[in-house]
C-alpha cells in the first residue's frame, strides 16, 4: 500500500513539474514578445484553484485532470477582439518568427530543465556501481565476444563508462550508429584489451531493462555475509528467537555461504519449517523458523522479516562518483542532454522503419512505476528520472504531428514557403489527422504497458 501511494504521489509530482515547465515556456516567451495570455492552466477540466491577476487579467488555473496543460492566448480566430488597443497583442497578428518562438518555447524549456537538472546532479555528485563483471553466462553473446568475469568496462566506442548506468546508456547509444562496437575493458591484473560486440538486436535486448541480462553479463556485487541486521517486530524471525548479530551457519543441514543464498532459500519455502543453525556470542545454537507466506507479483514466496547486517565499508571499491566543478558541469550537462535527445530521436526513427521493436515504448503505467521506484532510491535518482521524461516530452513535442508543437511549426514552415497561412479547412483536417496519430501512439504504448505488466 505504501509502495502504491509513493508511486501515485511521485507520478503526480513528476507530471506537475514537467507540465508546468513546458507550459511556462510558452507563457513566458509569449509575455516577453507582447502577446496577451488569457489563461495559464495546469491540468484540464474543472478548476480546483483559480486566481486572476490584477495587472493584466491573466487567469491562473490548477485543474482536476493532471494529464496536461495549456496556455490560452488572445487570438482573433477563436473570438473577436472588441478593444482595438488589444488587437495588436493577439497571437494571430504576430509575425511568423514571433509565433514560431512562442510555440517552440515549450519543448525548449523541457530541454533547459534537463540541462539545469544535469548540472545540479554533476555538481552535487552522482554515484553508481562501477561496471565490474561478476559472471558471464554460458553461451551468451558476451561470452562469444570474449568477456571474462572480473573485467571492468572502461569505454564503449569513444564513450567513457565510469558506472554501469553510463555503460548501458553507451551500449544503446553507440549501437544505433555502428554495426560493431569496440568495448575497452581492464582485467583484474590491470591489463587492458578490446572486445568486439555485434550490435544486431541490442536495442531489443534492452526491453524492460534487461540489456545486461540478455547480453549475458552479471554485474559484480559485494558479498554479504549471512549475519542478521534488523528485525521487524512480530515477524517470523523475531518469533523464532533470532537476534541482531546472529550469524547463519546452515539451514536444513546445508551450509550458507552468503545472504543472497539465504534469501533465495527462504523465498522458495513459504510456510515450511526450516532447521536453522546459528552462531551467537561464539556459541552454536539451533532453532526452527517458519517463513511467512506472502504474495509478490503473482507468486507465493516466503518472508521472515529480517534484514542483513551491512558493514560500513561494504561498497569500497565498487562505487564510482561522477562530479564536476560548476563551470565544467555546464559543458557536461549540455552534452548529456544533447546525447539523450539524439538517442531518443534515433530510437523513434528506427521504430518507425521497423528496425527497433515497439516494445521499447513506455506508456503511463511504466512511467508511473519508474517514478515510484526512482523516488524510493533517493532525490538524485528522482531528478534523473525527471530529466529523462522532460527530454522525452521535448523530443516528442517537436515531432511534425499536428496537435503537437512540432505540428504547429510544420504549419508555419508551409506558411513561410507559400507566403500565406494554410486555410482553416486544411488546418482542421491536419488537427484531426494529428489527433488520430496521437491516439494511436498512446493506445500502442498503453497496450505495450499492459503486456509488460500482465504478460
Domains of the chain, CATH where assigned: 96-125+324-455 (no CATH), 126-222+315-322 (2.30.42.10), 228-308 (2.30.42.10)
What is the three-class DSSP state of 453?
Answer: helix
Which are the catalytic amino acids? 23
Contacts of 351 (CB under 8 A, 6+ apart): 357, 358, 360, 361
Model pLDDT, residue 243: 93
More reliable by pLDDT, 358 or 294: 294
Contacts of 185 (CB under 8 A, 6+ apart): 133, 147, 151, 152, 153, 154, 192, 193, 194, 195
Q: What percent of the chain has pLDDT over 70?
A: 93
CA 337 to chain CA centroid, nearest Å: 14
- Supply angle C-alpha 259, 263, 269, rounded to 5: 145
- Supply angle C-alpha 197, 387, 398, rounded to 5: 90
The string over 92-129, giving b where at least 16 C-beta atoms fall within 10 Å of a residue's C-beta and e elsewhere, is eebeeebbbbbbbbbbbbbbbbbbebbbebbbeebebb
* Element containing residue 134 per DSSP (H, E): strand 133-136
| Mean per-residue pLDDT, 210-226 | 84
| Mean per-residue pLDDT, 133-138 | 90
Tens digit of each residue's pLDDT (9 = 90 or more) over 252-296: 999 998 898 899 999 999 999 999 999 999 899 999 999 998 887
CA 293 to chain CA centroid, nearest Å: 32
Least confident of 23-32, 37-46, 96-105, 247-256: 37-46
d(CA 241, CA 308): 16
d(CA 133, CA 278): 32
For every residue of 103-120, DSSP letters joined together read: HHHHHHHHHHHHHHHHHH
Supply 250's cell numbers. Answer: 546452515
Contact by Cβ (8 Å): 345, 179: no
d(CA 395, CA 402): 14
Contact by Cβ (8 Å): 183, 194: yes
Model pLDDT, residue 450: 74
Contact by Cβ (8 Å): 154, 160: yes
Q: What is the pTM of this model?
A: 0.80
d(CA 355, CA 200): 10
Question: Is residue 453 predicted with pLDDT exceeding 70?
Answer: no
Q: Quick one: which of 171, 146, 169 has its CA closest to 156? A: 171
Model pLDDT, residue 1: 46
Contact by Cβ (8 Å): 183, 175: no
Distances in Å between the alpha carbon of 15 and those of 63, 65, 431, 443? 13, 11, 24, 19
d(CA 351, CA 396): 14
Contacts of 41 (CB under 8 A, 6+ apart): 23, 47, 60, 61, 62, 63, 69, 70, 71, 72
pLDDT band at 455 (very low <50, low <70, confident <90, very high): low
Tens digit of each residue's pLDDT (9 = 90 or more) over 47-72: 889 999 888 889 999 988 877 889 99
Q: Quick one: which of 225, 204, 209, 122 has its CA closest to 164? A: 209
Model pLDDT, residue 364: 73
Q: What percent of the chain has pLDDT over 90?
A: 46
Tens digit of each residue's pLDDT (9 = 90 or more) over 138-197: 988 888 889 999 999 999 988 899 998 888 888 888 777 767 888 999 998 899 999 998
Contact by Cβ (8 Å): 309, 227: yes
Fill in the DSSP letter of residue 305: S
* Element containing residue 185 per DSSP (H, E): strand 180-186
Neighbours of 449 (CB within 10 A): 19
Model pLDDT, residue 395: 93
Tens digit of each residue's pLDDT (9 = 90 or more) over 397-420: 999 988 889 999 999 999 899 888
Fill in the DSSP letter of residue 222: P
Question: Is residue 136 predicted with pLDDT exceeding 50?
Answer: yes
Contacts of 289 (CB under 8 A, 6+ apart): 236, 237, 240, 242, 273, 274, 276, 304
Q: For helices 96-124 and 379-397, give the axis angle rounded to 10 degrees.
A: 160
Q: Quick one: which of 63, 62, 58, 60 has its CA closest to 74? A: 58
d(CA 454, CA 37): 44
Model pLDDT, residue 72: 93
| Mean per-residue pLDDT, 201-208 | 60
Amino acid at each position: 500500500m505504501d509502495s502504491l501511494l509513493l508511486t501515485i504521489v511521485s507520478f503526480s509530482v513528476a507530471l506537475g513539474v514537467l507540465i508546468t515547465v513546458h507550459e511556462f515556456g510558452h507563457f513566458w516567451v509569449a509575455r516577453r514578445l507582447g502577446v496577451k495570455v488569457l489563461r495559464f492552466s495546469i491540468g484540464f477540466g474543472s478548476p480546483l484553484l483559480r486566481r486572476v491577476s490584477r495587472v493584466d487579467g491573466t487567469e491562473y488555473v490548477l485543474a482536476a485532470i493532471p494529464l496536461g496543460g495549456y496556455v490560452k492566448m488572445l487570438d482573433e480566430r477563436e473570438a473577436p477582439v472588441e478593444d482595438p488597443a488589444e488587437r495588436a497583442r493577439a497571437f494571430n497578428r504576430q509575425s511568423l518568427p514571433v509565433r514560431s518562438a512562442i510555440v517552440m518555447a515549450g519543448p525548449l524549456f523541457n530541454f533547459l530543465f534537463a540541462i539545469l537538472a544535469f548540472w545540479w546532479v554533476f555538481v552535487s555528485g552522482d554515484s553508481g556501481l562501477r561496471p565490474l563483471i561478476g559472471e558471464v553466462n554460458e553461451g551468451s553473446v558476451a561470452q562469444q565476444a570474449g568477456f571474462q568475469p572480473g573485467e571492468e568496462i572502461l569505454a564503449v566506442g569513444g564513450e567513457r563508462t565510469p558506472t554501469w548506468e553510463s555503460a548501458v546508456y553507451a551500449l544503446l547509444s553507440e549501437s544505433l550508429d555502428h554495426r560493431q562496437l569496440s568495448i575497452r575493458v581492464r582485467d583484474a591484473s590491470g591489463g587492458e584489451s578490446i572486445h568486439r560486440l555485434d550490435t544486431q538486436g541490442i536495442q531489443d535486448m534492452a526491453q524492460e531493462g534487461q540489456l545486461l541480462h540478455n547480453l549475458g553479463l552479471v554485474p559484480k556485487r559485494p558479498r554479504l555475509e549471512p549475519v542478521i541486521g534488523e528485525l521487524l517486530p512480530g515477524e517470523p524471525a523475531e518469533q523464532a528467537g533470532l537476534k541482531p548479530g546472529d550469524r547463519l551457519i546452515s539451514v536444513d543441514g546445508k551450509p550458507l555461504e552468503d545472504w543472497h543464498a539465504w534469501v533465495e532459500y527462504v523465498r522458495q519455502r513459504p510456510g515450511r519449517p526450516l532447521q536453522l543453525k546459528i552462531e551467537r556470542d561464539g556459541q552454536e545454537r539451533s532453532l526452527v523458523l517458519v517463513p511467512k507466506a506472502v504474495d509478490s507479483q503473482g507468486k507465493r514466496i516466503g518472508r521472515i522479516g529480517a534484514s542483513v547486517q551491512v558493514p560500513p565499508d561494504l561498497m569500497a571499491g565498487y562505487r564510482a562518483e561522477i562530479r564536476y566543478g560548476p563551470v565544467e558541469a555546464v559543458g557536461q550537462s549540455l552534452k548529456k542532454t544533447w546525447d539523450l535527445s539524439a538517442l531518443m530521436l534515433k530510437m523513434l526513427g528506427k521504430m518507425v522503419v521497423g528496425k527497433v521493436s515497439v516494445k521499447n515504448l513506455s506508456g503511463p503505467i511504466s512511467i508511473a512505476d519508474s517514478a515510484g521506484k526512482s523516488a524510493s532510491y533517493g532525490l538524485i535518482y528522482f531528478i534523473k528520472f525527471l530529466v529523462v521524461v522532460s527530454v522525452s516530452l521535448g523530443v516528442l513535442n517537436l515531432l511534425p504531428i499536428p496537435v503537437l508543437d512540432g505540428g504547429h511549426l510544420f504549419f508555419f514552415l508551409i506558411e513561410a514557403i507559400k507566403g500565406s497561412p494554410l486555410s482553416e479547412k486544411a488546418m482542421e483536417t491536419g488537427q484531426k489527422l494529428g489527433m488520430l496519430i496521437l491516439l494511436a501512439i498512446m493506445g500502442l504504448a498503453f497496450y505495450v504497458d499492459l503486456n509488460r505488466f500482465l504478460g
